[in-house]
Amino acid sequence: MIPRLRRGVRLTYDHTRDLQVLLYPEGVLVPNATATAILQRCDGTTTVAELVVALGKVYEGVDEQHIVAVLTRLADRQVVEWL
């Protein structure tokens, strides 16, 4: 499974709010730190397994099921798609 941001969606830094935001045509989402770390690596070429390895190098206790759950919730909101 390869996740990526849907067309028209982008993760960017909002200087006014001093945090990362996910911009999409219908609005703005403010992802938590975990979701931001995952979304920063959703480039359309990195598999979930590769995300787990990359995040495991930075954070302890990375769980593939948790990453899939986060991405699934974001896909339900139409900001992430699976390739």
Q: Structure tokens of 76?
A: 């339900």
pLDDT in the model for residue 55: 97
With beta carbons less than 8 A apart as the criterion, state whether 19 and 3 touch. no
pLDDT in the model for residue 49: 97
User: Which positions ≥6 away from 50 have C-beta within 8 Å?
Assistant: none
Q: How far apart are alpha carbons 70 and 4 in whole angstroms?
A: 13
- Selecting from 3.40.190.10, 3.30.950.10, 1.10.10.1150, 2.70.70.10, what CATH number does the domain 3-78 have? 1.10.10.1150
User: Which positions ≥6 away from 1 have C-beta within 8 Å?
Assistant: 47, 48, 68, 82, 83
pLDDT in the model for residue 61: 94
Residue type, 46: T
Residue bearing tokens 């769980």: 63
pLDDT in the model for residue 2: 98
Residues of the chain with pLDDT under 50: none
Q: Where along the chain do its domains lie? A: 3-78
